[in-house]
Structure 1
Amino acid sequence: MKKVGYVLLGALLIATVYSCEPDDFNVNDPRLNYIGTWDVTEKTGDFAPQSYTVSIDLGELASNLTIRGLYAQGPTFITTAIANGRNLEIPVQTRTGLTISGSGTANADYTMINLQFSVNDGSSIDNVTAELKKR
């Protein structure tokens, strides 16, 4: 009976060790600095000055972020950005009839982002300069 107990204990130990896989989560991922809620103040643009909130989350690809609510479009307006250290790029993309692109730079401690982006609604282009402050 003791042998059966040791065999079961050994099998359980082996199963536990082999079932542990390393996480894909990398604590050194620079995108983690951007995750959170940000207060946006548009300094220039057709609707400036205007203020609103965006949330930034990890995107599906290794360098991507998702920005929800940019251009005061609400949380269902999702823009993809590419993070490269302190630099952000918003590649050209069309969401709900708005074509958006731009770039920005975060400060050294990732508490503020200066962002410039253009939005084309099909009839005109709005060039926006915005400051994002992390909450």
Structure 2
Amino acid sequence: MRAIGFRGKRIDNREWVYGNLMQFEDSATFIFADERKGASTLTYAHFIINNMHAIDEKTIDQYTGLKDKNGKKIFEGDVGWDEHNECYGVVKFEEGKFLYVWENIAEDLWEVADGIEIYGNIHENPDLLEVAE
């Protein structure tokens, strides 16, 4: 089964958090990070509250289910280096699939994922994005 996950920057401290996305119509968007490391003395309600983090919606990216050539998870919005083509590219989700876009060329991410190296993302490394375009 394909792993479905998300990442986003917390509103309170701007740190990245990874987990399941929860969106409510009348509230903030949250990521529930299941950070259990064994037995817990917390009640279920406290466990939920302690692991729900309000997220800046502009930073939400979905996990692609793929890893780069170094085994790093690839998320939508990641910027990678393609050694074969000697250029940076951006991971995007368009037309129902994840693409790796570089120099106005779009390739299916699953075909090239093991040949790229993730260097950053569009949120923290806009300078790489400018090079990719």
Check whether TM > 0.5.
no
TM-score calculated relative to the size of structure 2: 0.23
TM-score calculated relative to the size of structure 1: 0.23
When you count strand as a share of all residues, which structure comes out higher? 1
